[in-house]
């Protein structure tokens, strides 16, 4: 209690907040907490997405390394495939040889060839399908049919985003033997 007055007539006034000040404080606090929680939820979703992308990149890198081991000079010796240095068609170049080795069959033409999909399990327990397509690019740089294009698409096998892929990746590879051509 405070005493207000000139000393002869004491008056008392109670200190504290009014009801409107309390309501404004509650609204401000609620707004701040809601915005902070929403930011945390968005951060968790972005972190989950980045972890999925990192795992998908690791799976693709592992598959590329496995394919690369099939492109070495020991697997494709130049001495047995000298005629592929100057092919007459795309079906007689090194890219076709690698495509046939990876497909396990004799594929002809420049059409895309779909390899059997791979399944991979993430650390979160989700399963993803890795689709792989092989193509021989028809570009001026590939006039000798040495480049083989590999396209990867990673999609979840279940869940709400079943139709949405999480990663598309395309690269082109050249067998080691193609570098030995004169």
User: Which tens digit of pLDDT belongs to each residue from 20-31?
Assistant: 999 999 999 999
pLDDT band of 178, cuts 50, 70, 90: confident
pLDDT at 67 over 80: yes
**If we measure between CA atoms, which residue out of 107, 110, 86, 89 comes closest to residue 97?**
107
DSSP run (H or E) holding 173: strand 167-173
φ, ψ at 19 (rounded to 5°): -60, -40
pLDDT at 150: 92
Calpha distance 144→92 (Å, rounded):
9
Q: Which domain holds residue 86?
A: 54-179
CB 119 within 8 A of CB 155: no
Calpha distance 132→115 (Å, rounded):
5
pLDDT at 6: 62
Q: Is residue 19 part of a domain?
A: no
**If we measure between CA atoms, which residue out of 147, 134, 142, 156 comes closest to residue 175?**
147
Which one is predicted more confidently, 55 or 137?
55
Q: What pairing do the DSSP bridges indicate for beta strands 113-121 and 11-13?
A: unpaired
**Which whole number is the average pLDDT over 32-60?**
92
Instruction: Show Cβ contacts of residue 147 under 8 Å, excluding neighbours closer than 6 positions.
Output: 95, 136, 137, 139, 141, 172, 173, 174
In the chain, % of residues over pLDDT 70 = 90
User: Picking from 17-21, 94-98, 156-160, which range would have the lowest pLDDT averaged per residue?
Assistant: 156-160
pLDDT at 107: 80
Q: Is residue 34 part of a domain?
A: no
Tally of domains in the chain: 1
pLDDT at 9 over 70: no
Which one is predicted more confidently, 119 or 89?
119
């Amino acid at each position: 209690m405070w005493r207000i007055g000139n000393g002869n007539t004491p008056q008392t006034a109670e200190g504290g907040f009014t009801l409107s000040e309390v309501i404004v404080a509650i609204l401000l606090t609620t707004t701040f907490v809601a915005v902070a929680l929403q930011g945390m939820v968005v951060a968790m979703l972005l972190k989950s997405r980045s972890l999925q992308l990192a795992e998908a990149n690791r799976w693709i890198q592992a598959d590329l390394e496995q394919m690369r081991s099939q492109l070495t000079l020991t697997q494709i010796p130049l001495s047995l495939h000298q005629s592929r240095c100057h092919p007459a068609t795309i079906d007689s170049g090194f890219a076709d040889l690698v495509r046939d080795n990876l497909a396990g069959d004799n594929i002809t033409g420049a059409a895309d060839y779909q390899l059997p999909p791979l399944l991979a399990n993430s650390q979160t327990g989700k399963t993803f399908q890795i689709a792989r397509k092989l193509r021989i690019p028809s570009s001026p740089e590939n006039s000798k049919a040495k480049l083989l294009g590999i396209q990867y698409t990673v999609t979840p096998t279940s869940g709400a985003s079943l139709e949405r892929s999480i990663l598309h990746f395309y690269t082109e590879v050249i067998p080691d033997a193609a570098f030995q051509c004169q």
